[in-house]
Chains A and B, each alone.
Chain A
C-alpha cells in the first residue's frame, strides 16, 4: 500500500491528531489538571484551524474514493471555524457541576463527528460517504443525551436516533437502487452510466437519496425531529447540530446531486428539489412564528435557512455553489451568535422563552446587542453579512435562468419578509417591551465573550470584505469538473 496517499488528507490527519491529544489528556493526566481540558482543547483546535488554511495539493487518494480539491479544502476550513466557535462557547458549560465528570467525552465525540463530516465532504464513493454520514450522526445522538439529569435530553436523543437510523435506511435503499442501475459506487462512474437513463427505478433512487440526506438537513417534509431535538439537547450540542452538521450535509448533498445525478438534472431532481425548497422555506417560517421557546424558534428558523441553502444547489452552477459556501459561512456566525447568547443566559438563569427576554437591554446591553445583530443577520438586513449571503444565493439560483426558478426565488423573497416579523419579535422583546422582573445583570464568562465577539466581527465584516466572496468564487470556478455531466 502506498502510504503517501495520506499526505493528501492533511486536514483529516490534523483533526485525528487533535483528537488523540485530547483523548490522551483526558485519559492519563491527573484529576487536578482535568479542569483545564476544555481550554486545552480549544487552544489546540484553534492552532489546528489556523494551520488548516494552508493550501493543500489537490488530488485523489485510495483509487478515487477520497478527493481533495480547493472546494473541499475551503469547506472544511469553514466547518473548522464553526467548530472552534462551538468549542469556545461550550467551555463554561462543560465545567459546570453535572457535566464536568464526562467533559472529555463531549470533546472527543465532537471531534469524531467532525471527522465523519470531512469524509462526507471528500468522499467520492458511496461507501465512504455512508461511513462518513454515520460517523457524523450516531455520536450526535449520544451527545444529545448528554445532560443525564434532564429528562428532555433523553427524549430528544431517542427521537433523534430513531429518525436518523430510519433516514439512513432510506438513503441506503436509494444507494442500492443506484448500484442496481449502474453496477458501481464511484460517483464519477455512476454519472457516466446514468447519461440518458430515465427509468422509474432511477426516479425512486433519487427520491430516496434526497429523502435520506434531507433528514440530516431537516428539509420539510423530513423535518419533524428538528424542533424536539434542538429543544431537548444541551445548547452547545444544539448549536453544533444546527450549523456544522447542516453545512457539511449541504455540501455533500451538492456533490451528490451535481456529480452523481448531474446527467438527470432537468429530467429528475430539479423539480423534486423545487417542491422541497418551496415548502421548506414556507413551513419553517410559518411554524417559527408561533414558537415561544427560543431554541424551538431557532430550530424552525434553521429549517427555513436550510431551504435557502438548497437554493444554492438547485441552480447547479458555480455561482450557486459559491453562494452556498458563503451562506454556510455567514449562517455559522449568525446562528452561533444567537446560540451563544441563549447558552449564556440559560446557564445563568435557566430561562429560554421570548417573554423572559423582556427588558433585557436595560440589564444586559451587550448580550442584547449581540442577539440583535444575530437576528438582523439571519433576517437579512442590509449592512450585515446575512443580507449579502441571501443576495448572492438569490442571484446564484436566478442565474440558472428558467421561469420556474424565478418564481421560486420570488417565493423565497416573500418568505424573507415573513421571517423578518419573527426575528424582530425577539429584538422587540429585548429593546421595547419592559418587564419588572427582567433577567438581572450578570457577567458572562471570558470564553463566551470571546466566542460572541468573534461571531459579531464575522456578522459585521464578512459581507463587507468582498475578498471572501471573490476567493470562494475563484475556488468554485476551479472545480468545473464537478459540473461536467450536467444536463
Chain B
C-alpha cells in the first residue's frame, strides 16, 4: 500500500522528464524519481524486513548521491545558460543525427 505513492512519484518523474522543456524542470523530475526510489527502500525495509536496517542505509547514501548529481547538473545548466542565455532544452540542437 505504501508503495503506491512512490510508484506514482516515479511515474510523474518519468512523465516530467519526457515532457518538460525547461532544464530546471527536468532536473526536478529527476529528483522526483530518485526520491521515490528512496521511499521504496524505506517502505520495503520497514514493512518487510523490520529487523534490519540495510534499506535505511542505502537510502541515506542515495540521498547524498542525488545531492551530488543535482550539484553537477545545476553547474552544467548554468554553463549552458551562459552561452545560449536560455534554459530551454529545445535550444540544445546543435548536435543531432
Contacts and interface: CB of A to CB of B under 8 A. Distances in A.
A176 interface: yes
A231 B37 contact: no
B23 to A, nearest CB: 7
A173 B94 contact: no
B44 A179 contact: yes
Contacts of A130: 58, 61-62, 65
A138 B62 contact: no
Nearest to A151: B83
A173 B61 contact: no
Nearest to A157: B76
Contact of A127 (B58, B72, B77): B58
Interface in B61-80: 61-62, 65, 68-69, 72-73, 75-77, 79-80
A131 B62 CA distance: 9
Contact of B54 (A154, A184, A227): A184
Contact of B72 (A141, A156, A169, A179): A141
Q: Say whether chain A's binding surface is mostly helix, strand, loop, or mixed.
A: helix
Given A172-B62, A173-B10, A231-B95, A183 B76 contact: no
A130 B57 CA distance: 13
Contacts of B30: 162, 165-166, 169
B73 A162 contact: yes
A227 B94 contact: no
Contact of B68 (A127, A134, A148, A175): A134
A165 B34 contact: yes
Contacts of A168: 34, 65, 69
Nearest to A170: B33
A159 interface: yes
A287 B45 CA distance: 45
Contact of A179 (B34, B36, B41, B65): B41
A183 B69 contact: no
A227 B75 CA distance: 22
Interface in B12-41: 13, 17, 23, 26-27, 30, 33-34, 36-37, 40-41
Interface in A137-160: 138, 141-142, 145, 148, 151-152, 154-159
B92 interface: yes
Contact of A141 (B58, B62, B76, B94): B76
A232 B80 CA distance: 13
B77 A138 contact: no
A228 B95 contact: yes
Contacts of B54: 179, 183-185
B76 A180 contact: no
A185 B58 contact: yes
Nearest to A231: B95
Contacts of B48: 180, 183
Contact of A169 (B13, B45, B58): B13
Contacts of B58: 126-127, 130, 175, 179, 185
A42 interface: no
Interface string A124-137: 00110011001000
Contacts of A156: 95
A139 to B, nearest CB: 8
B96 interface: yes
A161 B89 CA distance: 13
Contacts of A148: 79
Contacts of B72: 138, 141-142, 161
Contact of B69 (A134, A170, A175): A134
Interface of B: 10, 13, 17, 23, 26-27, 30, 33-34, 36-37, 40-41, 44-45, 48-49, 52, 54-55, 57-58, 61-62, 65, 68-69, 72-73, 75-77, 79-80, 83-84, 92, 94-97
16 contacts: A127-B58, A131-B61, A151-B84, A155-B80, A155-B92, A155-B95, A162-B27, A168-B65, A169-B13, A172-B37, A176-B41, A179-B41, A185-B54, A227-B97, A228-B96, A232-B95
Given A157-B79, A166-B33, A168-B34, 20 more contacts: A138-B68, A141-B76, A152-B94, A158-B23, A158-B76, A159-B95, A162-B17, A168-B69, A169-B10, A169-B13, A169-B30, A169-B34, A172-B34, A176-B37, A176-B40, A179-B41, A185-B58, A231-B95, A232-B95, A287-B97
